Structure 1
Amino acid sequence: MTDLAFALIRHGDYQQRDNTPSAHQPWPLTTEGQAQAVVGAAHLLDMATMLGLPLNDFWYSSPLARARETAEIMRAELQVTGPLVCCDDLMERGLGSANNLSIDEVEMCLNDLGLFEDTPVDWKANSEFRLPLPGAESLMDAGQRVAQRLLTIAANSENRQTLVPVFGHGAAFRHAAYHLGVLDGKDIRRFSMHHALPVVIAQSADGKWTQRAGEWKERTRQTDFTD
């Protein structure tokens, strides 16, 4: 029996700067991303019906524009009137003082500081690595804070027997899924997430989390992801 379920929804396509990790980029959705959110709304409603769970009145989102705008479009499509709660701890992995720098700029900075030699080649996708700069997080750090926010929402008894939509970011969601036991470590790099299409994870009465609906996006090749 499902006690509570989350619809994890990655933002739609957005105006991401070239060769730059998503991190905390402030840009809005593209026209394509807006259309993806409209399609995603129909998928969300279908999943709620399939699972026999009503959509929760409270929806949650990262405050970054690409996630918040995706949520707002889907809410308008489904005529949702309850509150949209923006939570800083649902944001993508932060790079601290290197936030929103291009990959070349980050590596130039590390080189100038004498830190590049100790930086792994796959630093962008390395789950455990944290840039040696003030305020930077590892991907595992980001996943842990997202997972903790989900557990906090799940602990509210008023959310039981509902499907709670949560809007955020692919890498942070995948690492959160790992912390909750939904994904194996090897699957974090193997999978991405489709823009604006929900992946539903559910908690049973014994506290175990499992994937119940939706599909992760299988990567065609192993690349350094920037989502």
Structure 2
Amino acid sequence: MADHHLALIRHGAYHQRAGAPSALQPYPLTNEGAQQARDCGTEIAQLLEGSAFRLDSVVHSSCQLRAWQTARIASDVLLERGFEITEIHQSPALSERSVGSAANLTLEEIEAVLAEDPRFDTPPPGWKSDSDYRLPLQGAESMTMAGTRVAGYLRHIVETASTNGHAPLLTLIFGHGASFRHAARNLGVLRRSDIPKLSMYHARPLRLCYNQDGSWAHSGGHWKQRRGGEIATD
């Protein structure tokens, strides 16, 4: 049985509301983001044309518009290059960390909501980048919880895929940087201490390999190294 590779692809640049956690924002790609998605399709096509990978015809995406658009544009490039894609399967399991009922509020607005509610404590400094902090609001998750959710989805893909044959299967997964990084930690590919040092490039495939012994490994592409003082937007 051949190994199974998953290409984790963060969405392209999009019209993110300034000062608000990325989370479940509903906005589309910018022109730059659309070009990043086209370049992503070209990069994947070149990888497939120069290797023994067999492309999974089902592409997976979160339900956020920016991820679906990135998947759609990249898939159109692949179709033009002669590769078969039969479906873009959307799943909320691939979404970014949810801030629940605070969705699309700015950090300042969220903190004001909590300050005005006598049931809640003031969130700690830097709470947005704290992997284990969950807003005390309905529907909210920590980034660790989001990573566990995404990792479960990735495990389900490899457990249910048909990988018969000698060519390794490549499945495309379009989603979000923070939940992908925390999923990689859950799968044993990253350490907790790696999380704050790393990000993901927009629309650049980063491959994980599910090995025959049940382990996971980083098999291609590059994590983005955060610069000192860089503000996370994912």
* Length-normalised TM-score, structure 1: 0.95
Partner of 2:175: 168
**Structure 1 residues 105 and 91: alpha-carbon distance in aligned structure 2, compared to 1, 3 A threshold:** same
**Counterpart amino acid of residue 196 in structure 2:** R
Q: Equivalents in 1 of 2:132, 2:49: separation in Å?
A: 38
Which string of whole-angstrom CA distances, capped at 9 and with x for unpartnered residues, describes residues 9-57 of structure 1?
A: 0000000010111010000000000000111112222333455211101
Structure 1 residue 188 corresponds to structure 2 residue 195? yes
**Structure 1 residues 103 and 115: alpha-carbon distance in aligned structure 2, compared to 1, 3 A threshold:** farther
Structure 1 residue 64 corresponds to structure 2 residue 64? yes
Q: Equivalents in 2 of 1:175, 1:46: separation in Å?
A: 28
Q: Is 1:153–1:159's contact at 8 Å kept on the other side of the alignment?
A: no
Instruction: Give unmatched runs, 5+ long, in structure 1.
Output: none
> Following superposition of structure 1 onto structure 2, how do residues 209-220 of structure 1 map, counting pairs within 5 Å?
209-220=216-227
Partner of 1:143: 147
1:81 Cα deviation (Å)?
A: 3.3
Partner of 2:35: 35
Q: Secondary structure at the match of 1:47?
A: helix
Partner of 2:207: 200
Q: Equivalents in 2 of 1:55, 1:222: separation in Å?
A: 39
Q: Equivalents in 1 of 2:137, 2:185: separation in Å?
A: 25
Q: Equivalents in 2 of 1:18, 1:112: separation in Å?
A: 23
Q: Secondary structure at the match of 1:211?
A: strand
Instruction: Give unmatched runs, 5+ long, in structure 2.
Output: none
Structure 1 residue 121 corresponds to structure 2 residue 128? no
Q: Equivalents in 2 of 1:116, 1:224: separation in Å?
A: 26
Structure 1 residue 111 corresponds to structure 2 residue 115? yes
Deviates more, 1:20-29 or 1:105-114: 105-114
Q: Is 2:2–2:163's contact at 8 Å kept on the other side of the alignment?
A: no
Partner of 2:48: 48
1:82 Cα deviation (Å)?
A: 1.0
Q: Equivalents in 1 of 2:208, 2:42: separation in Å?
A: 18
Which string of whole-angstrom CA distances, capped at 9 and with x for unpartnered residues, describes residues 127-169 of structure 1?
A: 0000011110000000000000000011014156310000000
* Identity level (%): 41
1:122 Cα deviation (Å)?
A: 1.1
Partner of 2:7: 7
**Structure 1 residues 16 and 206: alpha-carbon distance in aligned structure 2, compared to 1, 3 A threshold:** same
Q: Is 1:56–1:159's contact at 8 Å kept on the other side of the alignment?
A: no
Which string of whole-angstrom CA distances, capped at 9 and with x for unpartnered residues, describes residues 103-132 of structure 1?
A: 110010111114675421111010000001
**Structure 1 residues 93 and 26: alpha-carbon distance in aligned structure 2, compared to 1, 3 A threshold:** same
Q: Secondary structure at the match of 1:97?
A: helix
